[in-house]
Structures are given as C-alpha cells and as structure tokens.
Amino acid sequence: MSEQFVDREIPIQSSSEPSSLRLIATLGIAGLLAGIVLVGAYVFTLPIIERNKEEALQEAIYHVLPGCSKYEALFLKDGQLVKPEKNTEAGSQHSVKRIFLGYNEKGAVVGFAIPASGPGFQDLIKLIYGFGPKADVIIGFEVLESKETPGLGDKIVKDQHFIGNFSALSVEPSLEGTPKGSKTKPNQIETITGATISSKAVIKALQVSLGEWRPAIQQYIEKNTLSN
C-alpha cells in the first residue's frame, strides 16, 4: 500500500492550538446548519404525519364500530357532549378531547368511538374502542400506539383472542380481568399469558375512560333520544 492514500496530517491540528473563536465558530456553524436541516425536515414531514394519523384514526373508527359508514366528532364541554362549533373546529381540534359518533348507512347510530390512553409497561398505550350506549357494551377495540415489549406486551395489538374479548363486552358493573380460558361473566376480559401487565393496563385505561365519558354519553342520548 503506497503512502499517497494515507491522508496528510492537517497542520492546524499538530502544530498550534486553534483560537477559541475558531472552535466557537465551527460549532456555531454546525449547529446552525443542523438546525436548518431539522426545521426543514420537520416542516416538510409534519403535514404528512398529521394526515397519516388522521387517516389511521378514521380507519380505526370504522374498525371499532362495525357497520359504521359515517361519523361526526363530538367534544366534551362543561360535562356535556357538544357538536363542534365552526370557529373551534380548525384551531383547537387537537387540543380538545373528542369522541366520534358513528352512523350506519341507514342513518341509525352504531355507537361511539372513544380514544383513550393509559400508562402501559413502558409508555402510554393509546387506544380507541367502540361503545354501544344502549346495551352498555364495548363493541370494538384497537390499539393506536404502544411501546409495549415486542413479542410479549405488544400482543395486546395483535392477539386475536384478546381483541375478540371486545366484541360484546358488558361494562356493567365494571370491567374485570381473568386468566385465559376462565371467562364466565359478560364483563370479564381474558388477559394474555405473558402480557399480564399490558392487558391490565388496557383494562384500566378503558375503565377510566368509561368513567369519564359514560355520564356525558348517557346525557347526550337522553337529550337527543337516539334510536340505537
């Protein structure tokens, strides 16, 4: 191997200390360029990411409300469900908690799709579930976002048996976890072997969310006498 491929030593490195001004300038320029690149990437990807999330949410709503073909968003305001006002719709859509009322093709109510979240094994588990208000049952369930242990906790996302729990799950008197194969009551959820903590986290998140939304939903139904 000949000498010419070995890079020559840079004189400034071996002979003298560079001035602190030069060090500051180097880091300043590096930081500035990195900042520009990052802001550019952020601005460029943000609308795509938002659109992806919106699409995923829409898909999830149709998934947890079987037979749903149309939905509208409802907001919680002073303990009551209200339809979005024109001026709040655009700006505060992401900061206000919202649920979705789904209708089927004939215009009858299918149920409410309710996003919820709760602490899982590692991070917040974000999920959405369908709630049939008349029979007080959960009719669908999907995990939107989770960082549960791959191969174990993330079975709450993929395990069909676990997800099957939520096709006609009574919420009266309260949700209850039980080991796989031992379900006897309509309000029991069979947890996943090897993912007990994640299963319980899901149940707790659902219970908390139900406690928060059910009174408002019941009020809304009485007021609007929805046929379900």
Partner 1 sequence: MNTINQSNRTYTEFVKGLWKENPVFVAVLGMCPVLAVTNSAINGLAMGLATTFVLVGSSFLVSMVRHWIPKQVRITTFIVIIATFVSTVDMALEALVPKIHKELGAFIALIVVNCIIMGRQEAFAAKNTVKLSIADALGMSVGFIFALVTLGGLREILGSGSFFGFLLFGDHFEPWIIMILPPGGFFVLGFLLLFFNWLKKNRDERLKKQTAVLSKTMQGA
Q: Which residues bind partner 1 (CB under 8 A)?
A: 1-2, 5, 7, 10, 12-13, 17-18, 22-23, 26-27, 30-31, 34, 37-38, 41-42, 44-45, 48-49, 52, 56, 123, 145, 147, 149-152, 194
Q: Give the containing element (helix H, strand E) for 198.
A: helix 196-224
Q: 223: which DSSP letter?
A: H
Which of 76, 157 has the CB closer to partner 1? 157
Which of 3, 105 has the CB closer to partner 1? 3
**CA–centroid distance for 99 within its chain:** 13
Closest separation between CB of residue 78 and partner 1, Å? 35
Q: Give the containing element (helix H, strand E) for 157.
A: helix 155-158
Closest separation between CB of residue 97 and partner 1, Å? 23
Nearest alpha-carbon partner for 123 in 142, 144, 148, 150: 148
Closest separation between CB of residue 218 and partner 1, Å? 34
Which of 41, 82 has the CB closer to partner 1? 41
Closest separation between CB of residue 11 and partner 1, Å? 10
In sequence order, the β-bridge partners of residue 82 are 75
Laid out side by side, the sheet with 80-82 consists of 80-82, 70-77, 98-103, 109-119, 124-132, 137-145, 169-170
Rg (CA), the chain: 26
Which of 12, 108 has the CB closer to partner 1? 12
